[in-house]
Structure 1
Amino acid sequence: MSLAETPAPTAEPAVLRYAAFTHDPAGGNPAGVVLDAAGLDDATMLAVAARLGYSETAFLTPPPTGAQEGGDGVRAYRARYFSPQAEVPFCGHATVATAVALGERHGTGDYLFHTQAGPVPVTVDERDGALRATLTSVAPHTEEYPDADLTEALAALGWERADLDPALAPRVAYAGARHLVLAAATRDRLARLDYDFTRLRDLMRHTGLTTLQLVWRDPADPLVFHVRDPFPVGGVVEDPATGAAALAFGAYAREAGLVPDAAELTLHQGEDMGRPGLLTVTLVPGDPRVRVAGTGVPLPEPAA
């Protein structure tokens, strides 16, 4: 190949950094955001995500030809999400971060993200001087997890069956990505997370899981949960605030009859990591979809 035929290198995209589900840059879950990813190939997007090292980075391009625009005044995009090691079909916290970034530039209102999991409507509004994004899931569902795989998951976590809350049965929940919901019987069990990274990663790959949604239900308030999310398939030990898993958990809680048909759940995540975040999950009667809302804040640029 002659020099004239050598492909030009892909230009480095402009990358924004936000923390989702928090007002404080020291809290919540950091995400990368690329608002104009036109012309970037998969390898470049993966390389950007790997360089950032966040659990996910979102990449926006114009919506696919013929895709629904979402109605008058709705801004539509195609959204793709990459962890440091692989593309994932959907990511909640990176969607919140991206929606807040768009809201800062284009104003509040309705957006539509075309994801690999399906179309995800997002509304950005302002509350108490902060932008807040509310996203609506694709149609969710739950399913059984094979007992042999559950035994392996517990072994990888270093948990015993006696560590599980018998009132919250283990199940896989989906609202754009698959998460195994495991409920700890005590707050102390949830706090002591120290697992076999490779063993759990291999099991999750084998059974098609994105994260484990480890939960503890607050006995003082049945609508309040503390959660943690191991994410070894993405090359991340733990995710600080996981919107996709929160959506899936909302579907789980409703199908299990743990909460009313109309409910607002509060999920605390990241406290045990020193990055506290707050996720609000809303269930609406007559609508099988689940909503999760949170704020977002820009992160300071790293030192050169």
Structure 2
Amino acid sequence: MSPDPEILRLAAFTDVPGGGNPAGVVLDAGALDDAAMQAIAADVGYSETAFLTGGADREYDVRYFSPVAEVPFCGHATIATAVALAQRDGLGDVLLRTAAGPVAVRTAADGDGDDDGARAITATLTSVDPEVSEIGDADVDAALAALRWTRDDLDPALPPRVAYAGARHLVLAAASRERLADLDYDFDELKSYMSDRDLTTVDLVWREAATTFHARNPFPVGGVVEDPATGAAAAAFGAYLRALGAVTPPVRVTVHQGDDMGRPSRLLIDLEPGRAAVQVTGGAVRIPHA
């Protein structure tokens, strides 16, 4: 293998390069050690870059690195990786062996195609078994202080919880769209808070309608102020909604994220009766790179 592997760049949870969440993807990372992967992720500069090894029978080992550290699972980079594999190898099912556990992903062609006849590709990941746990008042207050929020800013119908579906996220529901739009947090304080509690992002959400939400995800532990689309948080949020009885499966939930950053994204969450795992669907497109 070349010492300089091909680095693909895709925007996930969007159908245009200027939307969604950019991810780096290295489809052949077998010759890279940890330091090389971390250096590539830092150079790419996106919130995560995925690195694949193996490949027998459409099964791969995958690792995810932010610009500053490895993370156990990343949803948007998983979607980007699956689309890149489909573009190279064809549509179908793949199994990604992540640090959080095996994640099955299915790719499909979507829509009627563009002017050149090319059809967009979407990917659907199936999460590891999720967990949702309560969080103490003192921990909630510390998070609110770092965010510069108060208890009055929260929606009492959607109480704070820690949700996991491959990575841990603190879910906080805003009482208004205006509160969600005004994000001005203490980066260092929130980073310290999250590091102490092994949180990947804080999933800030606002409920527009019964199955429609808006979200923002501060990600200071990854060296990023905010993620424009967070698939891992979407999976965890689906588990959160089900645990609270806020939705009734079978149901599809739509999450709009990235609008306040100028990178609009759409994440689709599917919950099925009698099935713990959460499915998250989105598209991905190549980002032009010189």
**TM-score, length-scaled by structure 1:** 0.91
Where does structure 1 differ by over 4 angstroms across 4 or more consecutive aligned residues? none
Matching residue's letter, 1:118: G
1:52 aligned residue: 44
1:100 corresponds to 2:83: yes
Tell me how far 1:146 sits from its aligned partner.
2.4
Partners of 1:242 and 1:116 lie apart in 2 by 17
1:148 corresponds to 2:138: yes
1:84 corresponds to 2:67: yes
Partners of 2:46 and 2:214 lie apart in 1 by 22
Partners of 1:231 and 1:12 lie apart in 2 by 29
Q: After superposition, what is the alpha-carbon deviation per residue over 1:29-67, rounded to whole angstroms, capped at 9, x for unaligned?
A: 00000000002111110110001110000000016xxxx
Partners of 1:27 and 1:211 lie apart in 2 by 20
Q: What SS does the aligned partner of 1:173 have? A: strand
Q: After superposition, what is the alpha-carbon deviation per residue over 1:240-264, rounded to whole angstroms, capped at 9, x for unaligned?
A: 0000000000000000000012110
Tell me how far 1:265 sits from its aligned partner.
0.2
Partners of 2:170 and 2:136 lie apart in 1 by 11
TM alignment of 1:61-210, pairs within 5 A: 61-62=53-54, 75-128=58-111, 129-210=119-200
1:25 corresponds to 2:17: yes
Partners of 1:37 and 1:75 lie apart in 2 by 15
The correspondence for 1:226, drawn from 214, 218, 243, is 214
Matching residue's letter, 2:240: Y
Matching residue's letter, 1:25: P
1:4 aligned residue: none
The correspondence for 2:206, drawn from 216, 225, 232, is 216
Computing the radius of gyration over CA atoms, which structure comes out larger, 1 or 2? 1
Q: How many residues align?
A: 282
Matching residue's letter, 1:119: P
Q: Supply the RMSD in Å over aligned alpha carbons.
A: 1.0
Q: What SS does the aligned partner of 1:26 have? A: coil
Tell me how far 1:286 sits from its aligned partner.
1.2
Partners of 1:254 and 1:263 lie apart in 2 by 10
Q: After superposition, what is the alpha-carbon deviation per residue over 1:6-47, rounded to whole angstroms, capped at 9, x for unaligned?
A: xxxx92221000000000100000000000000211111011
Matching residue's letter, 2:72: P
Q: What SS does the aligned partner of 2:63 have? A: strand
Partners of 1:133 and 1:203 lie apart in 2 by 33
**TM-score, length-scaled by structure 2:** 0.96
Partners of 1:11 and 1:123 lie apart in 2 by 30
1:13 aligned residue: 5
Q: Percent of counterpart pairs with the same letter? A: 62
Q: What SS does the aligned partner of 2:210 have? A: coil
